[in-house]
Chain A
Amino acid sequence: MTDATATAGALERPRHATPDQGGWSWTASLFLAPAILLLAVFLLYPTISTIILSFEKGIDNYVRLFTRDPNFLTLRSFPPSGAFWNNILWVVFYTSGCVLFGLVIAVMAARVRYEALVKAIVFLPQAIAATALGVIWRFMYFPNPSTGALNAGLGVFGIDPIAWLGSPSFVNASLIVAGIWGSVGFATVILSAALKGISTEILEAARVDGARETQIFWRILVPMLSLPISVVAVTLIINVVKLFDLIFVMTRGGPGVSSRTIAFTMYQEALASRNFSYGAAVAVVMLVVLLPVMVFNVRRFRAERVVQ
């Protein structure tokens, strides 16, 4: 504990001139106490009790999860399959899709007068409950071209209907698209705000030097926005690993087990099936999976300190 604090503290130059800042100040506890108390009781305590529960039978739950539960992970075929693998797909494609779309929309919208309207429209899905989102997208994805919008569209070009949610090869992509549609607004709003902080002079100078817009985007905007981009990406990764309701309302993990994710498996085992101890093990795996994200966060936090 002291090690981490010392390092981070040493990197930081003193901020305040006031002398009493070194020791524990009672105002700090006043400001922190309510939040910390709630977090300890409502988040920390259940987490610890879940970890303990997952080891109820020693490590058998974990052995079962990785060796006897092909729905969770199986390496028999390539690409691998199972909830664990699907989550990797989600993290990679959903996160990059949201960030890329969000950034492109933010950059484009900034150059037109109806910027606010575009952002409002893209943000709209954030205001929609997961249940409604499921209803909306099932009307898009129905396999029958007389009720499914996408297949009706394909029919115009003479393409046979596709069972978006019924075919193991399409289902994850279809769900991820629905997920991106729902979350791009979040990325757009934050990145758009960050964009406003970039000085015009740099961009104008680049334009004067004859840089193309794509070069400006990749060489100037993306690096300059790396901090907000990483904030958005980290938030999205954390949310997507915990994502469960969209899958629950749209496919229930099917067809077969093709669209299960770790969070879906956890819900299915721990709550729907009342296998509390086994479900707890899934939850712990989920936390472990997210640890690298936290390590990244800590690193960035320290780097940020050096810059300051």
Chain B
Amino acid sequence: MTRFRMVVPIVALALMLTACPAGNTSTTQNPSTSASSGSGVSGATIEVTSLWGGAEATAFQAVLDAFTAKTGVKVTYTPVRQDYSTVLSNRIEQQQPPDVAIIPGIGFLRSFAKDNKLIALSELGIDDAALHSAYLPNLADMGTAVGAVNGTAYAVMVKLNSKSTIWYDPSRFTANNWQTPTDWPGLVALTNQIKTAGKTPWGLGASDSWTLTDWFESIYLRNSGEAAYDKLFSKDGDWADQSVKDAIKMMQDLLTNDNVAGGLDGALATAFVDGIGLVFGKNPTAEMYYEGGFVGGIATGDVNTALKVGQTIDFFDFPEINGSGAKITIGGDVMAALTKNPGVAEFMQYLASGEAGKVWVKGATIISPMNGVTGTDYPDSTKKEATQIVNSDLARFDGSDLLPGGPDLGAVLQQALQNPSGVDQSLTDFQTQVTDAWNS
């Protein structure tokens, strides 16, 4: 009896204590209050969200600090490490959108643009020509294309990583007298050579199925060319086409049960990072690992801190196929504005400049697509990757990020490796789903 009487005041007290700070923050963050702060943007505060945590967040924070020093606009960085799309969608509905969001997939960008949630770049003082010339020349066409939805530019590609790097341990290659290949037959021969030497050629971390979509995209771009690539990942793509089956066949022939550490089932239970451990951990069980330029940082930072770049970890370029030349696939993030609050336009313009890029690349986590950032701006650990991208003839954006959300190319590829006879059926099914997703 007395017990219950006590509960009510306790609740009331708890509600008051906790509600107060929340109430305060909500009023200070309300966009409408900061919007009325006159013409000078100095003193304004904007909020930026992205997926990055850990070292990536630290590197990005340096860019934000440089921007604040330059303009006086404060930037709050909110990392959303999980359920990013969910959080973003809901914050928009709650009328609490971040001012600027860094968006990892173009499918999402299109979806937000379609719902009129994004501010076009032209309204923020960045016209199409300025955007095009902000990028490195060999990336400019791709950069402008991925940021546009139905001909309107919404997003700036702010960072990228190569996805054409195959990682290996030079000391072990030297000891076994293995040579890094330059073309596909060379890669196949090297794989067989390693197997003959009693070692397992490939580490594969494919429970994260995007590692397989990266394999597919790298092969498809080189084997079928950029015109076919662009078509496949557009609304007109034909997934039942022979060229798709050819690329999958090449994957199946290289990534066999015997060629990957732990067998295919094991590889499909191994996460991307644990796959790095198969090659670069203390007790390695495989010799090569294909994934993006970011593998180096993760391997030396998290997997095995004893690694030495250039001596015990290095990469060679994903080999040419049929004389395809220096074509690379890249993965990147684009940045779009959700409000026109003071400081947002300045921020977008700043991030679309080599000036920001130079600060950012110092953190050794990204490659900047911006014109004006040169090889000498990079620290040693990312210099080689930057050089590969700058010197490439042509770059293409990660295709699976261009597809609309829903259909899972990675799952199709996992099935293709585990059950080769089912490929035709699953590609037909996938085509149906992709068509539905493009039309919805």
Most chain B C-beta atoms within 10 Å of own C-beta, residue among A146, A167, A168, A254: A254
Closest to A279 in B: B406
Could you tell me the dominant secondary structure of chain A's interface residues?
A: loop
* Selected contact of A166 from candidates B86, B265, B406, B429, CB within 8 Å: B265
CB <8 Å contact, A278 and B406:
yes
A96 at interface (Cβ–Cβ under 8 A)?
no
Chain A contacts for B436, CB-based, 8 A: 64, 68
Chain B contacts for A163, CB-based, 8 A: 262-263, 265-269
B283 at interface (Cβ–Cβ under 8 A)?
yes
Q: Distance in Å from the Cβ of A137 to the closest Cβ of chain B? A: 12
CB <8 Å contact, B266 and A274:
no
B182 at interface (Cβ–Cβ under 8 A)?
no
Chain A contacts for B83, CB-based, 8 A: 271-272
CB <8 Å contact, B406 and A167:
no
For chain A, residues 49 to 84, give those with C-beta under 8 angstroms from any C-beta of chain B: 64, 68-71
Closest to A257 in B: B411
CB <8 Å contact, B285 and A275:
no
B209 at interface (Cβ–Cβ under 8 A)?
yes
Closest to B88 in A: A274
For chain B, residues 262 to 317, give those with C-beta under 8 angstroms from any C-beta of chain A: 262-270, 274, 278, 283, 285
A179 at interface (Cβ–Cβ under 8 A)?
no
* Selected contact of B440 from candidates A168, A268, A275, CB within 8 Å: A275
Closest to B285 in A: A144
A94 at interface (Cβ–Cβ under 8 A)?
no
Q: In the docked arrangement, what's the CA distance between A278 and B265, Å?
A: 32
CB <8 Å contact, B86 and A257:
no
Number of interface residues of A (CB under 8 A): 35
For chain B, residues 381 to 440, give those with C-beta under 8 angstroms from any C-beta of chain A: 404-406, 408, 410-412, 414-415, 418, 426, 429, 432-433, 436-437, 440
Take A273-B405, A275-B437 as given contacts and tell me if A166 and B85 are in contact as well, using a CB distance cutoff of 8 Å: no
Closest to A272 in B: B85
Chain B contacts for A273, CB-based, 8 A: 85, 107, 404-406, 437
CB <8 Å contact, A143 and B418:
no
A165 at interface (Cβ–Cβ under 8 A)?
yes
CB <8 Å contact, B267 and A275:
no
B324 at interface (Cβ–Cβ under 8 A)?
no
B152 at interface (Cβ–Cβ under 8 A)?
no
Take A142-B274, A256-B418 as given contacts and tell me if A165 and B85 are in contact as well, using a CB distance cutoff of 8 Å: no
Q: In the docked arrangement, what's the CA distance between A257 and B404, Å?
A: 18
CB <8 Å contact, B432 and A166:
no
B108 at interface (Cβ–Cβ under 8 A)?
yes
Q: In the docked arrangement, what's the CA distance between A219 and B141, Å?
A: 76
B76 at interface (Cβ–Cβ under 8 A)?
no
CB <8 Å contact, B437 and A165:
no
CB <8 Å contact, A274 and B111:
yes
* Selected contact of B414 from candidates A142, A162, A256, A271, CB within 8 Å: A256
Q: Distance in Å from the Cβ of B179 to the closest Cβ of chain A? A: 29
For chain B, residues 105 to 124, give those with C-beta under 8 angstroms from any C-beta of chain A: 107-108, 111-112
B176 at interface (Cβ–Cβ under 8 A)?
no
Q: What residues of chain B have their CB less than 8 Å away from a CB belonging to chain A?
A: 83, 85-86, 89, 107-108, 111-112, 206-209, 262-270, 274, 278, 283, 285, 404-406, 408, 410-412, 414-415, 418, 426, 429, 432-433, 436-437, 440
Given contacts A166-B269, A252-B208, A271-B83, 14 further A-B contacts (CB under 8 A): A144-B266, A144-B285, A161-B262, A163-B262, A163-B269, A166-B268, A168-B418, A252-B209, A254-B207, A254-B410, A254-B411, A255-B209, A256-B411, A274-B111
* 28 examples of A-B residue contacts, CB within 8 angstroms: A64-B436, A69-B433, A70-B426, A70-B429, A142-B274, A143-B270, A144-B278, A163-B263, A163-B265, A166-B269, A166-B270, A167-B269, A168-B418, A253-B411, A254-B268, A254-B410, A255-B206, A255-B207, A256-B411, A256-B415, A257-B415, A273-B107, A273-B404, A273-B405, A273-B406, A274-B112, A275-B405, A275-B406
